Amino acid sequence: MRTYLRIRGRRAEEVSGEIVREQPLTVFVNGEKFLTLLCSPVKLEALVVGYLWMEKVIGALDEVARLEVSPVDGRAEVTLTHPVTLPTERILTSGCGGGITFRIDHRLFPRLHSTLRVPADRLAARMKDLFAAAVHYRESRGIHGAALADDERLLVVAEDVGRHNAVDKVKGEALLAGIPTEDRILLSTGRVSSEMLLKAARMGVPLVASRTSPTEMAVALAEQLNVTVCGYVRGDALNLYAGSALLLDEPVGAPRG
């Protein structure tokens, strides 16, 4: 908690509230420095495991022989069961928190084949569940929440200053808990960019829903990879940008105007 001034018009008052925490975390793999992530200092083990999986440094949790994370030192030491050549061509993503990815080429991702179908009201209910579970988001509005869900409940929830980090934490926690991500729903409070869409495809997730909008590139990738993208999900309204995993109660009406 910190004390700061809240100013409304000509009036200023002293209030106490949460300010989002952020710190660098440097990841070493087999003794070699890989990269430094800017992140929220919670669920760091899940972040490291999820990020390494997303970047195809590991393919499964059993490839990690040792993982030690020190939030105090800002270091994560990862020892794998095998030698690895770390990717070096870094791509700065459009994410907050200075997101970096190495494998953005959509040709590395196969087209998804899923029979998942989710009614619109259940998707809205799961988004409401995410807001209820995202404690830090509600308190500060300066952090992103993400969740893995089915049509009945949330399975994993994570928060971070970077929306990409939040998704990596979701995947990492799912790996640590032995929860499959295929044929699930990925929920996010942040924008669905191309990298976010590719992370979903890598996880085998056929339905991505956000409180806000996707980018044009994300929608184009979703069409190529057979991922359903919904944005501006509210209680009884949403936008469907691509895909067929959303069940509609009525036929699509003719365009207005």
Query: One of 38, 52, 64, 96 is an active-site residue; which one?
Result: 96
What residue type is assigned to position 193 of the chain?
S
Sequence-distant (≥ 6) Cβ neighbours of residue 76 within 8 angstroms: 25, 26, 27, 28, 44, 48, 67, 68, 69, 70
Is 96 an annotated catalytic residue? Answer: yes
Query: Sign of the CA dihedral 111, 201, 226, 90?
Result: negative
Instruction: Catalogue the active-site residues.
Output: 96
